Structure 1
Amino acid sequence: MSRNARARGFQKKRHRSGDRRIGNYRLRRKVKPYLTHLRLPFQFLLSPIFLWGYLLAGGTLNATLLVAYLAFHLFLYAGGTALNSYYDRDKGPIGGLAHPPPPPKYLLEFSLVWQLIGFLLALTVNFTVAAIYFVMFWMSIAYSHPRIRLKGHPFGALATIMLGQGILPFYAGWATARGNLDGGAAPGVILAALSATLIIGGMYPLTQIYQLDADAERGDLTSARFLGVENSFRVAMISIAVGGAGAVYIAATNFFWWEAVGLAVFLLIFLAAVMRWRARFHSQTVMQNFKTVMLLYACVTLPFLAWIFLRLVVATWQA
């Protein structure tokens, strides 16, 4: 083969390689906004409620847990936030996303298909888990869709969050471990579910108080707008304190006493951090308040999540 022929062949390979890189780059640019609106890191912060129910039901680390966890946290919650982004079209910071990109053209369809995949996964776990998933899916529709828009009604929004991120995922975790809801009506179990729900309910207004102006522009009377900044902090601290006390009691009656003491100390430190933010709130910018609440959310979630995981490791080892 002549030198010129080899050179032409080399150039063709370079062109093909360059075309593939350009094609991959364009594909990533098209796909990235869809994945961004799933807000996957934020969904991880919702994990403890589901795993709390799973742990208290006697669950261990296994494939069934993984499938159920992915169904709810990778697909249901993430698809629900994408659905909400489609209707809200936020321009400022929102939960888990400091700079939301414009919703891509097919975000609505993508969010629905994404949640359908999760439902198919839930069906492989058991009927009870799938039924809870089904209810939570329609709650996410009611929360965001303009014709119902529970997000724009303070009590409807709070009820949706406390059910959809509190009681229902707790019992989804319980049903994942046991196959059904047997034993779920015991007083201690109900207290455990309510304690987690109160903490979630207390945090909810705090995730909205930095975006009051944006919600007002949309005409949404959110829980934070209804309560106002000061009352949002008061409700949050009372709710977290009461829910935390319930969680400490459950930890004391189900695990070692020193674990309950550690949980109590952690919650007191967290409440002190919320009070510190309250004192600084009005002097901070929207972005600073957004970063503060996201940091607080991570601080209240990650240690609890780590403790639950260690407990599941112990339960698996002892099984």
Structure 2
Amino acid sequence: MFSRSAWLHLRIPFSYYLLPVFLFSLAVSPNISPNPVLWTFVIVHLFLYPASNGYNSYFDKDEKSIGGLKNPPKVNLGLYYLSLLFDAVAVILAVVKVGIAFAILIFIYGLISKAYSHPAVRLKKYPVASWLVVGLFQGLFTFAMCYIGINRFPLENVLKPTVLIPGMLSTAQLLGTYPITQVYQHEEDGKRGDNTFSRMLGIRGTFWFVGGIFTVVTAGFMTYFYSFYPDRGYEFIFLAALSPVVLFFLVWFWRVWHDESRANHASTMWLNFISATCLNAFFIYLLLDSTQLIQLF
């Protein structure tokens, strides 16, 4: 019914790179049970994110490498309808399997993600606005959305400091890493007139900015773990978990400083993979250790 190219543009495996926010939300959840956890994961990572990827790909019509696709095939109208179908399934499953509050947040996320690339709004061409919106909705909003789904809490529960603080840290982290995901697309974005945040900063400026924000955010995470989990040493484990990310970033920065063509798709995807893997591993450890589940192993 739908072409292979349409399914490829959903980029379902790319959801792995966004998994840390879900796992962080899960790790600080007080009301964990298998069904809500499973359905929240499935709805967000297998339907909502792919719907957003496909919808934005349809309107971007990229000809060069994008996140999760080195050689993206040409888009067609089937991709547009497939992305809307995935969006609809996400909302329906959220209502049936989790709850109305979670479904409302899923619906809002879908609307905002469409505004990113749709020509009527196209947030992508506004560098600061798109940077802030992506950081807020893929960070704090998604953290709160997953928290509501996992725990089946009402919406007002997201206003608690135990949700807002780690959610804002997630946003800060995405504000720091998001520009680096655009650093290899300057030529492609320029053809469409999209002055992305990374284009505004320039290639070297993007690396300086990301390095600075990353330093501040890391300090914020360490302060959070020290304050909310005293005497557990999570802040030092977090720092150790991120050491491969720091090493890769610094080596890549040095190479780009001498040759800007090194700011390419392959290196960006490697940084994303290393970062996601290290954070996923840490948050799984945090979940197992803080809930004492680790004692079962």
Which of 224, 240, 250 is the equivalent residue of 1:275? Answer: 250
Is 1:136 matched up with 2:109?
yes
Question: Structure 1 pair 88/310, CA: closer, same or farther in 2 (3 Å)?
Answer: same
For 1:257-296, list aligned pairs within 5 A: 257-281=232-256, 283=259, 285=261, 289-296=264-271
Larger radius of gyration: 1
Matched with 2:197 is 223
Is residue 277 of structure 2 the alignment partner of residue 302 of structure 1? yes
The runs of 5 or more residues in structure 1 that have no matched partner are: 1-26
Q: Give per-residue Cα distances to partners, 1:131-176, cap 9 Å, x unaligned.
A: 1111111101110101100011101211221122101110012112
Instruction: Please give the residue correspondences for 1:188-203 in structure 2 after superposition, counting only pairs within 5 Å.
Output: 188-203=162-177
1:128 touches 1:175 (CA, 8 Å); kept in 2? yes
- Partner deviation per Cα, 1:23-69 (whole Å, 9 max, x = no partner): xxxx8xx6321221011111121011122122212243511111111
* Structure 2 Cα separation of the partners of residues 58 and 290 of structure 1: 39
Q: How does 1:1-319 map to 2 (within 5 A)?
A: 31-60=3-32, 62-124=34-96, 125-178=98-151, 179-252=153-226, 253-254=228-229, 257-281=232-256, 283=259, 285=261, 289-313=264-288, 315=291, 317=293
Contact 1:51/1:173 (<8 A) preserved: no
Structure 1 runs of 4+ off > 6 angstroms? none
- Report the TM-score, using the length of structure 2 for normalisation: 0.89
Quote the offset at 1:285 in angstroms. Answer: 4.1
State the match for 1:3 in structure 2: none
Bigger shift: residues 244-253 or 292-301: 244-253
CA contact (8 A) 2:26 2:150 kept: yes
CA distance in 2, matches of 1:80, 1:264: 32
Opposite residue 51 of structure 2, the aligned amino acid is: G
Paired residue secondary structure (1:257): coil
Q: TM-score when scaled to structure 1?
A: 0.83
